[in-house]
């Protein structure tokens, strides 16, 4: 009988990361004893688009400490990227309860709500994220695009104006503002 325990699937990371150790038990012990390394290794996999490997590592992390918001955030992001939106939502909601002042967790949770079609909660969480850290450009872009996607062009215009005031030399935001203004003009006919 095959054991589906994530701890036994650790060999997935073997040779996938330059810092990977050759012995699976040593690797598990190293990750178990160093949560910072575990988190870093998990996010390395996310950055490379290796979501199942990241999911495996963050799952291991939850067996060690299921209250660590960074581990939960990584697990939630991995689940989201694997298309497990409802599970991602549950995990990211827990991470947000444990660390309500983390703008990245709130922005990721907003992205999950957006994908699930809950625009109000998505907008709310993007706003909360920006209240905590207004310098995360990706959060502004996501909020503006969410407003456009949900048909709130005037809100997109207002958010884009605010974003332009912070980053006047950003060509992408200037292009986005042009699109919003065009859509506003077209919607008035």
Find the CATH number of the domain harbouring 36. Answer: 1.25.40.10
Among 112, 103, 107, 110, which residue's Cα sits nearest to residue 81?
Answer: 112
3-state secondary structure of 136: coil
Residue 29 belongs to some domain of the structure: yes
Q: Are residues 22 and 82 in the same domain?
A: yes
Q: Are residues 23 and 68 in the same domain?
A: yes
Q: Are residues 71 and 141 in the same domain?
A: no
Structure tokens at 168: 């006047």
Residue 180 belongs to some domain of the structure: yes
Domain boundary among the residues 62, 80, 99 is at: 99
Residue 9 belongs to some domain of the structure: yes
Domain boundary among the residues 49, 84, 99 is at: 99
Residue 120 belongs to some domain of the structure: no
51-94 pLDDT, tens digit each: 999 999 999 999 999 999 999 999 999 999 999 999 999 999 99
2-17 pLDDT, tens digit each: 444 333 443 333 334 4
Q: Are residues 3 and 95 in the same domain?
A: yes
24-33, long-range: CB within 8 Å, 24+ apart, which pairs? 28/60, 31/57, 31/60, 31/61, 32/60, 32/64
Structure tokens at 21: 């150790």
Residue 104 belongs to some domain of the structure: no
Q: Are residues 88 and 140 in the same domain?
A: no
105 within 8 A of 69, measured Cβ to Cβ: yes
Q: Are residues 1 and 66 in the same domain?
A: yes
What is the torsional sign of CA 144, 145, 148, 152?
Answer: negative
Residue 73 belongs to some domain of the structure: yes
Structure tokens at 27: 């690797």
Indicate if the pLDDT at residue 172 is higher than 50: yes
131 within 8 A of 139, measured Cβ to Cβ: no
Q: How many domains does the chain have?
A: 2
**Enclosing domain of residue 89:** 1-99
How far, in Å, are 17, 62, 143, 173, 189 from residue 156 at the CA level? 41, 38, 8, 11, 19
pTM for this entry: 0.82
């Amino acid at each position: 009988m095959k054991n589906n325990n994530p701890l036994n699937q650790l060999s997935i990371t073997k040779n996938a990361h330059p810092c990977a150790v050759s012995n699976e038990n040593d690797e598990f012990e190293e990750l178990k004893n160093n949560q910072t390394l575990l988190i870093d290794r998990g996010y390395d996999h996310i950055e490379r688009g290796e979501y199942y490997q990241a999911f495996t590592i963050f799952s291991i992390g939850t067996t060690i400490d299921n209250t660590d918001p960074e581990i939960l955030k990584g697990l939630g992001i991995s689940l989201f990227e694997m298309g497990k939106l409802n599970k991602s939502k549950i995990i990211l909601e827990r991470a947000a309860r444990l660390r309500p002042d983390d703008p990245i967790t709130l922005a990721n949770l907003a992205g999950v709500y957006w994908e699930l079609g809950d625009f109000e909660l998505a907008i709310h969480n993007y706003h909360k994220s920006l209240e905590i850290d207004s310098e995360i450009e990706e959060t502004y872009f996501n909020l503006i695009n969410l407003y456009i996607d949900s048909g709130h062009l005037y809100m997109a215009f207002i958010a884009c104006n605010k974003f332009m005031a912070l980053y006047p030399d950003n060509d992408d935001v200037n292009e986005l503002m042009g699109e919003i203004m065009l859509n506003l003009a077209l919607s008035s006919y």
